[in-house]
């Protein structure tokens, strides 16, 4: 488990590219039959990826969480971004996840195992986990069942579908919120106009990018912005004081996840482009 500590916005002003990438970019999430996890001290979110091929991968707390098992005091959301079906077993309950299906598993589930239905066509399971205070039943939802918001336009190059999945009106959770945003062909901007929400952090996973395509992810305080160049299947940690927006060399898909004090999706302070610096 990679550990990332919280940073103050005044510190970020002095970071060069290498330091920005070290603190905020997760470069590798998916490797055959391996579990990759990053523990962020920003609202204690864990961001991870698993690509089971020939083996079943156990969700293991290791020594870093100081608990008997991973979900002893946590909840988790899985999204299968692979083209092959995933199988998640939670205390004996079996869930099959097709492409872009989401599974929420709540606090107190001891045994979580991840596998692919077909080793020749493996799944890729992206997950985010946050501390939890209550037991909430597991639930699976497809992207077709999500609450979908249609945002942006072709004229502003940001026509997109924002699919709310783990949120107050969908899969219930203690504090974790997750969804999937799909940009239309010809659109490249996400979350523009940008915003901040000082009561919760956010993480982005960018995917469905060609090998030579990139997203320029914008971050930082609105009047002190920086950027990170992000490749396919890489993730960003965004502190509560930072904007989180991006523009790609082509269209793409991303998963957003939030954790923190406020559970209201619309709790945000919009920053007009004219105020960005």
Kindly report, residue by residue over 8-31, the tens digit of the pLDDT.
Answer: 999 999 999 999 999 999 999 999
pLDDT at 263: 85
Length of the chain: 277
Rounded distance between C-alpha atoms, residue 70 and residue 91, angstroms = 13
Question: 């930082």: which residue's tokens?
Answer: 220
- Beta-bridge partners for 20: none
Token output for 14:
């002095």
pLDDT at 182: 98
Q: Is residue 224 packed enough to be buried (19+ CB in 10 Å), middle (13-18) or exposed (0-12)?
A: middle
pLDDT at 203: 98
pLDDT at 38: 98
Kindly report, residue by residue over 143-179, the tens digit of the pLDDT.
Answer: 999 999 999 999 999 999 999 999 999 999 999 999 9
DSSP letter string, 90-115: ETTEEEEE-TT-EEEE-TT---EEEE
pLDDT at 265: 77
pLDDT at 172: 96
- Beta-bridge partners for 116: 86
Q: What is the pTM of this model?
A: 0.96
Residues of the chain with pLDDT under 70: none
pLDDT at 262: 84
pLDDT at 97: 98
pLDDT at 84: 96
Rounded distance between C-alpha atoms, residue 143 and residue 9, angstroms = 35
Among candidate residues 165, 101, 173, the one with its CA nearest the CA of residue 134: 173
Whether a cis peptide bond, with omega within 30° of 0, leads into 193 is: yes
């Amino acid at each position: 488990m990679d550990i990332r500590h919280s940073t103050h916005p005044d510190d970020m002003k002095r970071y060069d590219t290498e330091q920005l990438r070290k603190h905020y970019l997760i470069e590798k999430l998916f490797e055959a039959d391996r579990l990759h996890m990053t523990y962020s001290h920003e609202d204690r979110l864990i961001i991870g990826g698993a690509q089971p091929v020939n083996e079943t991968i156990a969700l293991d707390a290791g020594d870093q969480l100081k608990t008997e098992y991973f979900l002893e005091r946590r909840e988790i959301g899985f999204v299968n971004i692979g083209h092959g079906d995933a199988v998640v077993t939670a205390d004996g309950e079996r869930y099959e996840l097709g492409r872009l299906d989401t599974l929420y598993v709540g606090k107190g589930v001891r045994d979580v195992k991840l596998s692919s239905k077909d080793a020749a066509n493996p799944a890729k399971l992206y997950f985010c986990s946050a501390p939890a205070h209550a037991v909430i039943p597991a639930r699976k939802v497809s992207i077709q069942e999500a609450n979908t918001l249609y945002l942006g336009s072709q004229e502003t190059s940001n026509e997109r579908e924002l699919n709310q999945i783990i949120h107050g009106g969908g899969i219930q959770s203690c504090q974790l919120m997750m969804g999937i945003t799909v940009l239309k062909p010809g659109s490249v901007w996400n979350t523009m106009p940008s915003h901040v929400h000082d009561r919760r952090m956010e993480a982005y996973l960018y995917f469905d990018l060609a090998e030579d395509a990139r997203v320029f992810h914008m971050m930082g305080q609105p009047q002190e912005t920086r950027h990170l160049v992000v490749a396919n299947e890489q993730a960003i940690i965004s502190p509560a004081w930072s904007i989180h927006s991006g523009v790609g060399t082509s269209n793409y898909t991303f998963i957003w996840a939030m954790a923190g004090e406020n559970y209201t999706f619309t709790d945000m302070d919009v920053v007009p482009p004219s105020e960005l610096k």
